[in-house]
Structure 1
């Protein structure tokens, strides 16, 4: 199948599929014309990639762990013995990010709570722009 068909079947934009190839996550064959040719298994690979991205892993990490995962119904199952250590490290990294964000949110809550009653509680339009 060509890239447009893979995009349609997975719901992933063509430019992202090209990016996944650049990152070494997809390995389509090339026709003599230069067109990419994908196989049925690539649909499942793209779904695995999307699941791992949604779990907070970056494409560099996914390149490492992807060959060590298989589909088991609606979940991914590790198949390499050393993969669990890598996944635990990633989970710890994400947990630290969550802790840091919670600390930041708490600091903002403290600032907001300290605002005098006559100060509007609505964020100015320029904030975050």
Structure 2
């Protein structure tokens, strides 16, 4: 299928499909004229990419693990569990840091407005 057909079937913009190709996530064949041609599995691959991006994985990690995704968009090989758990731990740490930053910022806002911390944090 052509890139426009893939875009229409998956709902992913052509520009993003080209980006996925640049990142090594999606590999089309090329016609002698240089047009991209995608295999019948391309829509499933794009859905897997979107699911992994939605889970917060960067494209460099997705490139490493995409071949280990099987079946539906969310089914993965058990060998990926440590990588995904590590990524989940990173996200949890960022959330914790953001919560601390939010509390500090709320306290500063409250101080500038003459409110108590309890009033600022809701």
- Same fold? TM cut 0.5: yes
Matches within 5 A, 1:81-100: 81-100=78-97
Q: Which residue of 1 aligns with 2:29?
A: 29
Distance 1:116 1:8 in 2: 51
Matches within 5 A, 1:81-120: 81-117=78-114
Greater fraction strand: 1
TM-score, scaled relative to structure 1: 0.82
| Deviation per residue, 1:25-66 (Å, 9 max, x gap) | 011111111000012211011011111111111000001111
TM-superposed CA distance for 1:99, in Å, is: 1.2
TM-score, scaled relative to structure 2: 0.86
Unaligned runs of 5+ in 2: 115-122
Distance 2:2 2:14 in 1: 10
CA RMSD of aligned residues (A): 1.6
- Three-state SS of the structure 1 residue aligned to 2:94 is helix
Distance 1:63 1:49 in 2: 9
Aligned length: 115
